[in-house]
Amino acid sequence: MLTTCTRDSYCSLLSFKLTIFLSTSEVTIKALIVVLLISSFFTLAAEVPSTPPNPCYRGCTQTQEQLVTDFFSLGVVPQKSPAVYSGVCNHIGQYDPNYDHHAVVLIDEENAQSTFATIFAWFGNGDAFKDWNLAVARREMSPYWRDYGKLTFAEQTGRVVVNDDRGLPVYVYWMRQNPVTKELLYITYMGQSNKAFCRLQQHLE
């Protein structure tokens, strides 16, 4: 379910008002393929790694390589206080890695638990999320994330794992923060061959 995103039309692999994995009847052939790919990638692991394994093992652009370098050499655990981030993403797999897409991330807190929500915007005109504050982000994010957006922290990294009904990982989100610029360095695995590399700017309230 890929749609064209404009300022008034936001979409996300998980947040395109994410119903894709909520019931067996809604799982599409594409979703099943993604499940099989990412499941095979982590099958031998006791659990999903705390940091993204070999992000560029199939090749990256210079922009993606720099983001990975910054992630591991500069990045620290993201701040846990509520904040909104948005900016540019480049992909490996389904899309041209040199084409700029955009994403927004909300890090929040509910009942003393850090939470996460995201939206990817495909083929929009610039960063449609750049003016979002906490109130807007909380309103626009899918309720899906209340159940699936548990954010955990380990090895200087924030991580969110979305599993299918069998407990196998479908999407994995890793994030670190540049302590100087406050950028969120954000890497997503969407199956074995689909990845997103995002450099997101922190919004000021």
At residue 148, φ and ψ (nearest 5 deg) are -115, 0
Give the domain range for residue 155.
24-202
Q: Quick one: average pLDDT of 28-34?
A: 36
**End-to-end CA separation in angstroms for the chain:** 33
Segments in 100-183 forming alpha helices (H):
134-140, 145-148
> What CA–CA distance (Å, rounded) separates 7 from 12?
14
Q: Give the model confidence (pLDDT) of 41-52 as tens digits.
A: 454 344 789 999
Q: Would 3 be classed as within a structural domain? A: no
Q: Would 62 be classed as within a structural domain? A: yes
> What CA–CA distance (Å, rounded) separates 131 from 8?
13
User: Quick one: DSSP state of residue 153?
Assistant: E
Q: Would 86 be classed as within a structural domain? A: yes
Per-residue pLDDT at 121? 93
- One-letter amino acid for residue 191 of the chain: G
Three-state secondary structure readout of 3-55: CCCECCECCCCCCCCCCCCCCHHHCCHHHHHHHHHHHHHHCCCCCCCCCCCCC
Q: Would 192 be classed as within a structural domain? A: yes
| Cβ-contact 198, 82 below 8 angstroms | no
Q: Would 167 be classed as within a structural domain? A: yes
Q: Would 10 be classed as within a structural domain? A: no
Q: Give the model confidence (pLDDT) of 58-83 as tens digits.
A: 899 999 999 999 999 999 999 999 99
Q: What is the mean pLDDT of the chain?
A: 81
Q: Would 138 be classed as within a structural domain? A: yes
Q: Would 8 be classed as within a structural domain? A: no
Number of domain units in the chain: 1
**Tokens 């620290």 -> residue:** 76
**b/e sequence 46-83, b meaning 16+ C-beta within 10 Å:** eebbebbeebbeeebeeebeebbebbeeebeebeeebb
